[in-house]
Amino acid sequence: MSCLRTQSFGKLTGLLCAVFALSAQALTVDIEATFKPDSSNPQSNKFINQTPSEGFCRQVPQACEPFGLFSLGAPILFTANAPILANHTDPRQGGMARVPSEWRDVPVTHESGDTKVLSIRIGGIGHEASIPRSITELTGGGTWDNLWEGGRWIYAPPPCQGVGWATAGPVGYNSFWRVPENAGVCSKKALFDIPMSFRYLYFVFAYELRTPDPLNMKAGKYTGTIPYSVGPRQDFDMGDVMIPDDNQLLLNFSLDVQHTLKVDIPPGGTRIELVPQGGWQAWLTQGRKPTRLFRDQTFNISASSRFKMNLECQYISGNTCGVREPATGHSVPLNIGVTLPTGLTDAANQPVNRRPLLLDGSGTHWFQPGFYVDQKPGTLHFEVARDQVEEMLKPGVARSYSGTVTVIWDSEVG
């Protein structure tokens, strides 16, 4: 256990304590994120990081949140294998850090085999440095400002960026640097000799994520792993003097996709009565046959994932359903179509307007939301065409046509 009584620099103060079990095995860290549609913010198609920050971004969130950074602690102990000599000319012989600040892709795979790609970069690095003697003794009466060129570690060397917060005690200094994208080595030159027992008791790394578009992902969990090497000239490189007691850091990712596909039909909307334009009055009083029989039925849909639409029919007529007159057995095809609300498009990214619903599923096998569509109205269109109406209506003969049609919204899209 290590504890530092702190002297405040900026706003971060308090008693810093760390308890870590050191392991020769690769250190594994789990990162979890969830997508669940939010009706209060349907335009936000983003995963929410469910892994609480540890260390710096938890203590000083205002230094991380504007940059989309989260931080986690890594209980890896770095110990000097040689003294750090005053005024060394090689940055690798002093206090330095180089981290994988470039974007790296991580495949994440669903249990179905569907694979997407997230990206991660390391955007910050910090540690608790421990010296074997008090800073006053080490510097001959000086302070942390005197130990390093450019002042104490709160002042980050370029290309790294300081954040204005640090904590210090007589034998320890806790600091954090932001690391820009594709940055190289950030190094501090010692102005006094630092003995071999110099240590970093642990380090904190901040990361930034680019997650896949959840609207193009299946419901369920996607998992993936990225390994980082730790040590001299590795991914996490603290120079040639500071040697870690663990040489590998594994980040395990779990993306949980919780989709919504819900369709609401208003009361009475499951019974469709086909009528002519303006009703039956012209046929009953004047004998004028209708040009078509039709009915539009609205529904409300909520969708955050792709889906398809299918038909099932009591009576089949070609590639669609039919309605049948039981006494004669005469049947006619029923044309069925669908109009979807704004935000839902087909596989070619085209709007869906009076799209025919067919038994073979052609044209309706893939619909995709561009954003979370929440309780928006769509329309089912039912129609018997004019030439079929001619066959149905016989003067002086009463006929009644009926049939059952099942319209399916299916989230299982291949």
Residues 128 and 114 both lie in one domain: yes
Q: Which amino acid is at 388?
A: Q
What CATH number does residue 273 fall under?
2.60.40
Residues 279 and 247 both lie in one domain: no
User: How far is it, in rounded angstroms, from Cα 301 to Cα 270?
Assistant: 15
Query: So what's the pLDDT on residue 39?
Result: 82
Query: So what's the pLDDT on residue 96?
Result: 94
Q: How many domains does the chain have?
A: 2
Query: So what's the pLDDT on residue 390?
Result: 81
Q: If you search the block for the tokens 């889906």, which residue do you land on?
A: 307
Residues 35 and 86 both lie in one domain: yes
CA atoms within 13 A on the CB side of 201: 19
Residues 214 and 279 both lie in one domain: no
Residues 358 and 234 both lie in one domain: no
Q: Running DSSP on this structure, what letter comes out for residue 122? A: E
Q: Are 152 and 168 in contact (CB under 8 A)?
A: yes
Residues 237 and 296 both lie in one domain: no
Range of the domain at 118: 2-257
Q: If you search the block for the tokens 């009644």, which residue do you land on?
A: 400
User: How far is it, in rounded angstroms, from Cα 297 to Cα 353?
Assistant: 14
Q: What are phi and psi of 392, to 5 degrees?
A: -80, -35
Query: So what's the pLDDT on residue 282?
Result: 58
Residues 171 and 222 both lie in one domain: yes
Residue ending a domain, choose from 193, 225, 257: 257
Residue ending a domain, choose from 213, 236, 257: 257
Q: Are 202 and 130 in contact (CB under 8 A)?
A: no
Residues 145 and 266 both lie in one domain: no
Query: So what's the pLDDT on residue 20?
Result: 31
User: How far is it, in rounded angstroms, from Cα 206 to Cα 185?
Assistant: 16
Residues 239 and 336 both lie in one domain: no
**What six digits make up the tokens of 125?**
């690095």
Sign of CA dihedral 115, 102, 99, 66: negative
Q: Which amino acid is at 359?
A: L
**What six digits make up the tokens of 1?**
């256990």
Q: Are 338 and 321 in contact (CB under 8 A)?
A: no
Q: If you search the block for the tokens 């669903």, which residue do you land on?
A: 110
Q: Are 373 and 301 in contact (CB under 8 A)?
A: yes
Residues 180 and 145 both lie in one domain: yes
pLDDT tens, N- to C-terminus, the chain (414 residues): 223 222 333 333 232 333 333 334 679 999 999 999 988 888 888 999 999 999 889 988 998 999 999 999 999 999 999 999 999 999 999 999 999 999 999 999 999 999 999 999 999 999 999 999 999 999 999 999 999 999 999 999 999 999 988 899 999 999 999 999 999 999 999 999 999 989 999 889 999 999 999 998 999 999 999 999 999 999 999 999 999 999 999 999 999 999 999 999 999 999 999 988 766 765 655 556 777 899 999 999 999 999 999 999 999 999 999 999 998 899 999 999 999 999 999 999 999 999 999 999 999 999 999 999 999 999 999 999 988 888 887 766 778 899 999 999 998 886
User: How far is it, in rounded angstroms, from Cα 191 to Cα 368?
Assistant: 62
Residues 215 and 337 both lie in one domain: no
User: How far is it, in rounded angstroms, from Cα 257 to Cα 316?
Assistant: 38
Residues 28 and 160 both lie in one domain: yes
**DSSP per residue, 33-83:** EEE---TT-TT----EE-S---THHHH-GGGTGGGT-EEEEE---EEESSP
Q: If you search the block for the tokens 């304590």, which residue do you land on?
A: 17
Residue ending a domain, choose from 257, 286, 302: 257
Q: Which of 302, 373, 106 is nearest to 222 (CA)?
A: 106
